[in-house]
Amino acid sequence: MAYLWHRFRDIEHHPLLAENDSYDSSSSEADMADRVWFIRDGCGMVCAVMTWFLVVYADFVVTFVMLLPSKDFWYSVINGVLFNCLAVLALSSHLRTMLTDPGAVPKGNATKEYMESLHLKPGEVIYKCPKCCSIKPERAHHCSICKRCIRKMDHHCPWVNNCVGEKNQRFFVLFTMYIALVSAHALILCGFQFFSCVRGQWTECSDFSPPVTVILMVFLCLEGFLFLTFTAVMFGTQIHSICNDETEIERLKSEKPTWERRLRWEGMKSVFGGQPSLLWINPFAGFQIRQLLLRAKKGGPEFSV
């Protein structure tokens, strides 16, 4: 007879589902794959909208306050194309992180029938989450916001309105990298703009009045500095975690690894997929818009919070 044991932090004894509560793991996995993943969390949705607004604001200031009034044509074209490409890549990475299933475990799969289908050996121990009544794979943790167990859960990030886990960590790393690059580029352009305005005439360096120009650029500098600091630190933390094959939760809990660690390049390959290539930094890799539209028609959000 198979017994369920809880992790040392999940001490609540939660009974298995009743025998007449059938559960088909294969159909549940297929159903999850056919639906769009989106978390209906108020705080997360507000933070996600703010992220897009701040990126669009930075693009507005860079394009209409700094580059278009510039007399140097190639300076405006090169920096405009570069900045907008980075902004598109950052927002695309944000969308992929937010709308990708982070590795959710099917809810309510801790049934007697499912247990028997596992063909457990005598004395073999598995874990059951008392909150979502699911069998916990190794390294899975329960998210109180997503209300699901997430495989290799690193943390829940309100700025992307989703958990960062096994299946979307790559997109989160790209999001932090591109936001850091956009912020650095904006700060550099602000420095050049202030220098040119001080050296010349404020009325000639922008189509806006000098007070409005200064206010817009000061806010952009503050935004760029804060975003650059935060995302650069987060990017470094994520790369360090990937190279050490250790999530942030595992590090904070000081959990001893019971799995075979994939360090450095092996860890990077497991997250980004395959050998190093330009696909590693492409948030559009593997994206199929036809499949996304079919998923949207089949059921909308995978679940609501």
Catalytic residues, by residue number, are: 157
Answer whether 149's CB lies under 8 Å from 142's CB.
yes
Q: What is the largest CA-CA distance in the chain?
A: 84
CA atoms within 13 A on the CB side of 216: 21
Task: List, in sequence order, every beta strand (DSSP E) within 85-243.
Answer: 126-129, 134-136, 141-143, 148-150, 155-157, 162-164
E strand residue ranges, the chain: 4-5, 126-129, 134-136, 141-143, 148-150, 155-157, 162-164
What backbone torsions phi and psi does residue 162 show, to the nearest 5 degrees? -165, 165
Q: State how far the alpha carbon of 200 is from the alpha carbons of 17, 73, 194, 221, 287, in Å.
A: 75, 18, 10, 21, 48
Q: Specify the DSSP element, H or E, that contains 117.
A: helix 112-117
Packing angle, helices 169-199 and 42-60, rounded to 10: 40
The DSSP code for 23 is -
Looking at residue 280, what DSSP letter applies?
Answer: G
Select from 154, 218, 145, 225 the least CA-distant residue to 185: 225
For helices 169-199 and 210-244, the axis angle rounded to 10 degrees is 150
